[in-house]
Chains A and B, each alone.
Chain A
């Protein structure tokens, strides 16, 4: 459906009601406002309205804060990540022009905005910010309000410019991780290389291993891994691959011919002969004692990526990177080719099982996600089902979330012969989309059962 005006981010702001309590000082409440060129008056008005709505709705249910506000032209989503701090995302509802009795008029497509999807987008923004900057209160503790405003402005303006709101869907709700299917032997090889790395370089706190955009191993806590994974897959790795494709830094052959390898740092020094170690991002990880700040050093060889998290206190010198390079270069190159071989074996087998049914799978416990609805991981709207059908998935998910059953199944048929089946069992969600004319419920049920049997041979998934 062609929109006259697409879904767009109208405002994005963060405020804390505890600041600027006196009249005339309202501007102090605002920590961040997008678009930044908005005049202060509009900013204050928006924040004031939001404050009022939140306060007002509290009178009905003080346990559950208000999450969204629907208006004809906008959709507002509210998220309180930390006590007192509110993040607000205001979206303009997309419109289409319809002709009725010869008269054109605008129609607002408010059902194209799903609360659960965009609320998750908002939450992700917060989690992503705090991964790289720490929580709001941490920044306040360590620095001051000015620093917090500065950090929010510098991080979020970049973040918001990259966000692809039109293509947000059920996967944003899950915010999951794709795991690479591997056999035991290859996985053990990955695991032991990671172990060797960690024990040879005790400075490394933990490690994550990815192959292409799929995770193989993570030593991080799942919550952190989720956010880091999103960053790697949506931002760092595509940029890396682009520079690799353009023949950027070619596999550097430092000094030995025998040790041919393709390893290099994706975060860290680009040239190991220089003393310049490059810009290394810092991340804030959860730990049993609050949070720890770590350097994020990333090393790549072929399609394999190793993320090493090193305590902030450790000062990184060039010789550390040189030793890392010597240790990882060949090992990782070898490992990457081994995985590549495994994957080509695996994909040859699975192609035959291709049927018309598409699915999205998510496991809440290990954050594993798999989708055949989405053709890539780039969030460019490259999907194999119509977007209105895809939206049904998020609706079903929202329904499961509201009703909180331990197991459940919902079947939806659309006007254009799409069947969407949502299943929930054992903390796993499974959504199947089948396009079949003149099918009946029994046939669809059969089809889903077949798919379950082929996909879930090794897990307990209630029928």
Chain B
């Protein structure tokens, strides 16, 4: 296995958040809604240090010690601090002006014997208490230092999990803990979604809680709220490993079991979600697995079974630089290698890892580059990369590599073809959604279909590699390179690849941009594959255009048939009659040119001088006389006289005609 410096696709963020480590006097809390770490020293008397992702969310203050703190969280706008110290009440301190208010106020949960399992800020002024008997939603009025009950919900609750991104609260009920009640808290309302049961492989006797909070992860995967459940003993004891079950809350309505991730391992696991990927950390092996529910897997129609995209791989080692601490007792090293997958690690969603002992908070990050060598199937790789954020340069790199004109790559054209189809499938759906969103705008509402048919505009999850990307980043470079090589087969490869791309675009009904045709034709010309070019034109693979027709005209000396192709193309363009006349005259085809003028009905507009000049140049007297007579007739018809107008500058031809007719009479 490649373990070189860049062989790690998972790494801990270099910007580590440092905080006081847990000790006898310091308690540490993490609020995953605001991503703030609270280090509470001696119950707050010695100070509370808050570290968040930005300076605005980092602060410190002192408060009275009124007993051990159970939980502590700021409101999202940092104006109200909520502290839980007892089983049945939560205290609030205002920070309205940024400074701490001296007075605390308190709110009890409703039932006297109820126990608060935890509380959640669902909004700047809204807080949800979850007790063992239900949930209570309060409005916080800091100005009055009081709270108002808004909604309540009764249920015997074992534990709960919350996802701040979606405001989804998942309550566990029942003896086994497997009855799931998803709540959607939204603008002062508790929206109860339909309950679902997680199947328990082996029900213990007597029944006891067997689905635990730590096995549940709430996340957003590809825009849908998802419930990720770790199951240690899957059904069918034949397979000893654990598995991860993903329930998807389609449109925030009902949860459906949609994916099963096969771990084939057992032991302690932790789950992070990074860039819509599920990362399963395995402590025993100190390595992680990566799953992508968007990838294909075996399916029974309802549930898709996935293998990891990449097998067990460790996180990149992390070296922590410590500021030199002058200490008389023991000199600390300025750099320490952090222990990865340490038992002190606590994992938060979506991608937070906290080492409570070291006092460090990291985000897990994805490094796409090493995956290029880890995923061998190029189609799979590109499919995977296309769904990652900011992966465009990496995808382009993959394409550049596979289109490098090497002998090895020639045999990969089948893969290239498939790859193009994958790229263009995404490109095509992107174009369609673009078009729909245009149609949907009120400005062109007359064109729109019934708006209800439009799918909800989800944030574009995928990157799109369009024709101009392919051209500027892949094809043009690739063409340059193969020019340098100047080998026979590389030219063929270039044409093959371009045709394959055009074929793929055509299959997806995407109009091909002219620069791709130009590139194709230039490659064909470069490699003197004129007959191939001829056949492509014959089947109208390449769109007609005046520049292309001109290019063809210029090729006549190399490939005589190009002249005919050019004329045909000019004819099809139907806006190039001038050019057709020029081409015919240049070939001294005076009479066909005149006939053509006649057929398109522009006899009265053409310049007599041009024709007379060309006719004179043929040296054929009869042709000249014929043309001269033709224009005399035109003059007669238009002006009532056979004489040419002054502006037509035909004097020399009149003289030439006169000399010819005098010759003939002689």
Residues of chain A at the chain B interface (Cβ within 8 Å)? 179, 182-185, 187-189, 191-192, 195-196, 198-200, 202, 217-219, 221-222, 363, 365-366, 368, 406-407, 425-428, 458-460, 462-463
Contacts and interface: CB of A to CB of B under 8 A. Distances in A.
30 contacts: A179-B538, A183-B539, A185-B507, A187-B539, A188-B503, A188-B541, A189-B503, A191-B503, A192-B499, A195-B496, A195-B499, A195-B500, A196-B417, A200-B414, A202-B489, A218-B531, A363-B564, A366-B561, A368-B538, A406-B589, A407-B589, A458-B540, A458-B572, A459-B567, A459-B571, A460-B564, A460-B571, A462-B592, A463-B596, A463-B599
B651 to A, nearest CB: 30
A196 B571 contact: no
Contact of A462 (B417, B492, B595): B595
B413 A200 contact: yes
Interface of B: 410-411, 413-414, 417, 489, 492-493, 495-496, 499-500, 502-503, 506-507, 531-532, 534-536, 538-541, 560-561, 564, 567-568, 570-572, 580, 587, 589, 591-592, 595-596, 598-599
Contacts of B580: 460
Contacts of A459: 567-568, 571-572
B492 to A, nearest CB: 7
A192, A217, A368, A459: which has the most chain B beta carbons within 10 Å? A192
Contacts of B411: 199-200, 202
B622 to A, nearest CB: 13
A199 B568 contact: no
User: Chain A's interface: helix, strand, loop or mixed, by majority?
Assistant: mixed
Contacts of B540: 184, 458
Closest 3 A/B residue pairs (Cβ): A365-B561, A460-B567, A187-B539
A184 B534 contact: no
A426 B587 CA distance: 11
B229 to A, nearest CB: 36
Contacts of A407: 589, 591-592
A320 to B, nearest CB: 15
A192 B503 contact: yes
B531 A221 contact: yes
Nearest to A365: B561
A350 B540 CA distance: 19
Given A199-B411, A202-B489, A187 B541 contact: yes
Given A191-B499, A426-B564, A196 B414 contact: yes
Nearest to B539: A187
Given A192-B417, A202-B410, A182 B499 contact: no
Contacts of A222: 531
Nearest to A189: B503
Contact of B499 (A185, A188, A426, A462): A188
A196 B413 contact: yes
Nearest to B544: A458
A188, A202, A460: which has the most chain B beta carbons within 10 Å? A460
A218 to B, nearest CB: 7
A241 to B, nearest CB: 25
Contacts of A428: 564
Contacts of A426: 564, 567
A407 B596 CA distance: 12
Contacts of A187: 539, 541
B538 A365 contact: no
Contacts of A463: 595-596, 598-599
A407 B592 CA distance: 7
A323 to B, nearest CB: 12
B587 A185 contact: no
A199 B531 contact: no
A240 B493 CA distance: 33
B614 to A, nearest CB: 14
B506 A185 contact: yes
Contacts of B539: 182-184, 187
B413 A199 contact: yes
Contacts of B503: 188-189, 191-192
Given A366-B534, A368-B538, 10 more contacts: A187-B539, A188-B503, A188-B541, A199-B493, A219-B532, A363-B564, A365-B560, A365-B564, A406-B587, A459-B572
A222 B561 CA distance: 12
Contacts of B568: 458-460
A425 B592 contact: yes
A341 to B, nearest CB: 15
Nearest to A288: B528
A196 B571 CA distance: 34
B580 to A, nearest CB: 7
Nearest to B420: A192
Contacts of B531: 218-219, 221-222
A202, A462, A463: which has the most chain B beta carbons within 10 Å? A462
Contacts of B495: 195
Contacts of A460: 564, 567-568, 570-571, 580
A218, A366, A407: which has the most chain B beta carbons within 10 Å? A366
Contacts of B496: 192, 195-196, 198-199
A309 B37 CA distance: 73
B478 to A, nearest CB: 15
Contacts of B561: 365-366
Contacts of B500: 192, 195
A460 B573 CA distance: 11
Nearest to A202: B410
Nearest to B503: A188
Contacts of A196: 413-414, 417, 496
A462 B567 CA distance: 11
A192 B595 CA distance: 41
Contacts of A406: 587, 589, 592
Contacts of A195: 413, 495-496, 499-500
Contacts of A179: 538
B508 to A, nearest CB: 11
Contact of B506 (A182, A188, A221, A462): A188
